[in-house]
Structure 1
Amino acid sequence: MATTLEQVLHGRDTISSKDAKVTVTIDGNVINLIDCKELKINIKKNKEKVQVLGDHWTKHKTTSVDGTGTLGQYVINSNWLKYGIPYTMKEGDLYFTITFTIDDPTSHAGKQIIQLDEVNLDEIPIADFKADDTVMDISADFTFEGIHLVQPFDGIQ
């Protein structure tokens, strides 16, 4: 139990998701995704079950990892069509880098930068709209094959 005020998490030190910035680098072109409204990134561990004589517990051994994510954006440009359609014309698949920066100036946690390598969309988002009172947006799942913690948060002690 905290005995002094300094040992309690201050609300200001939590991180606001609105202070996130996402860029993609495609063929050397850095594109600021000002239209990004959602970025979800996961590393799933693939595990094998291991049975051991003399123990009733099932053990688990991690054998590989799988990087996946979802990118959601408002529709304000044609970038995914511009870079994705060439694959449909047998010009090679689209691989790119995503860099995600979170820097909430109100928090004492500092800034964190994460980079994903060899990002590949599962589908090329073209359109998703309805005749209702909403704005156009798209969402696409992706895989990635490398991750770097370029700059970790300073952390709150």
Structure 2
Amino acid sequence: MGKNNVMLSKDAVSASLAECFVTIGDRRYNFMQAINLEAKFDKEKSEIPILGKTGKGNKTTGWKGTGSATFHYNTSIFRKMMLDYKRTGRDTYFDIQITNEDPTSSAGRQTIILEDCNIDGGILAKFDADSEYLDEDMDFTFEDFSMPEKFKNLKGFLTN
């Protein structure tokens, strides 16, 4: 039996060593209030009937970008977006930049920029006398994304 390459535990990327920046118009915010964020790329598919097959095929016809975040309840920038929309009918679109980098990991650094994000709604006011701290969840969509930096391939990942 041949020797199997395995990932080194040091190459796991630390969950908390990320950076997150939000750019709204010409203002860039260090979104250090973030607790977690997840952005998803969902392919939209159509079922394709194929003559001579008992099953249908699947063809990708588009995609949709969605995300969710939890952050400390100590910033009003998203509530201001909702207030501006209520008052003017003008919606606000913004970018979110997420960078993951763990200096211990050989994976290096990855940066994803979510472009033309738009919040689905949000919490206007909140309190909880039984909680240690306040946080809030936010769902959003995005129209585009880029990846200016990508993780390196770990040693042993490529087999030929």
Calculate the TM-score normalised by the size of structure 1. Answer: 0.92
| Aligned match for 1:41, one of 34, 39, 42 | 39
Conservation of the 8 A alpha-carbon contact between 1:101 and 1:111: yes
Q: Distance in 2 between matches of 1:54 and 1:128?
A: 59
Determine the structure 2 residue equivalent to 1:107.
Answer: 105
Conservation of the 8 A alpha-carbon contact between 2:81 and 2:91: no
Q: Please give the secondary structure, in 2, of the residue aligned with 1:17.
A: coil
| Aligned match for 1:86, one of 84, 87, 109 | 84
Q: Pairwise CA RMSD of aligned residues? A: 1.6
The amino acid that maps onto 2:133 is V
Matches within 5 A, 1:42-57: 42-57=40-55
Q: Deviations over 1:21-69 (max 9, x none)?
A: 1110001111011110010110111111111111012101111100000
Q: Please give the secondary structure, in 1, of the residue aligned with 2:59.
A: strand
Calculate the TM-score normalised by the size of structure 2. Answer: 0.90
| Aligned match for 2:75, one of 74, 77, 95 | 77
Structure 1 residue runs without a partner (length 5+): none
Identity over the aligned pairs, expressed in percent?
A: 32
Conservation of the 8 A alpha-carbon contact between 2:13 and 2:102: yes
Q: Distance in 2 between matches of 1:128 and 1:70?
A: 19
Structure 2 residue runs without a partner (length 5+): 156-160
Matches within 5 A, 1:138-153: 138-153=136-151
1:25 aligns with 2:23: yes
The amino acid that maps onto 1:138 is E
The amino acid that maps onto 1:94 is T
Report how many aligned residue pairs link the two structures.
Answer: 155
